[in-house]
Structure 1
Amino acid sequence: MSEPHIHETHPDIVKRLRRAEGHLRSVITMIEAQRSCVDIAQQLHAVEKAISNAKRTLIRDHIDHCLEDAIGTEGRALRASMDEFKTIAKYL
């Protein structure tokens, strides 16, 4: 098991996930109350966005900190590859 670590973005990620959790509870309540499918779909979209944003923030944070630390001050080729990886990862 890897060592636990916390980055400065982790509290923000927790907030996003708690928001998603609240939206998800709302969706369940809405379905049980037989609310309109449009309203339910809108709330589900909010859940997806919150989780997606949390995931994106976590991945970017890992790239920016953990992987950057791992390559340290290696040669230009490795640095260029890392920069290219960061650029393409924005499209995840």
Structure 2
Amino acid sequence: MVSIEHRHDTHPEIVKRLKRAEGHLRSVVAMIEAGKPCLDIAQQLHAVEKAITNAKRTLIEDHLDHCLEDAVGSPPRERRQSIDEFKSITKYL
């Protein structure tokens, strides 16, 4: 299977967020190994979770804005509402 490069303008931002999460995760592991307080560890875990969630949300929204639009094309106004609602609901992922 031939792999086609697939990139969007938001991909560098997504990589940045994931690298931030990676750094936080390393910090969490080190904190646990060092016996740091649970509150401090939980705060770092929250930062990891938030960074990954934001990266995922950005990727999905970007995919919907570009890839879905390319696949579906420009539907008539009455069908457009369903697509717009679908895009809006992704904020709850």
Give the TM-score of the pair, scaled to structure 2.
0.91
- Counterpart in the other structure of 1:84: 85
Structure 2 gaps, min length 5: none
- Counterpart in the other structure of 2:21: 20
Which amino acid letter does the alignment assign opposite residue 43 of structure 1?
Q
Give every structure 1 segment of 4 or more consecutive aligned residues whose post-TM-superposition deviation is greater than 4 Å: none
Which amino acid letter does the alignment assign opposite residue 25 of structure 1?
R
Structure 1 gaps, min length 5: none
- The CA deviation string for residues 4-39 of structure 1, in whole angstroms up to 9 with x for no partner, is 310000000000000000000000110111000110
Q: Percent identity?
A: 73
- Counterpart in the other structure of 1:75: 76
Which amino acid letter does the alignment assign opposite residue 42 of structure 1?
Q
- The CA deviation string for residues 27-78 of structure 1, in whole angstroms up to 9 with x for no partner, is 0110111000110011000000000000000000001111011111222333
Q: Where do residues 1-92 of structure 1 align in structure 2 (5 Å cutoff)? A: 3-92=4-93
The number of residues matched between the two structures is 92
Computed over aligned residues only, the root mean square deviation of the Cα atoms, in angstroms, reads: 1.4
Give the TM-score of the pair, scaled to structure 1.
0.92
What SS is found at the alignment partner of 2:92? Answer: coil
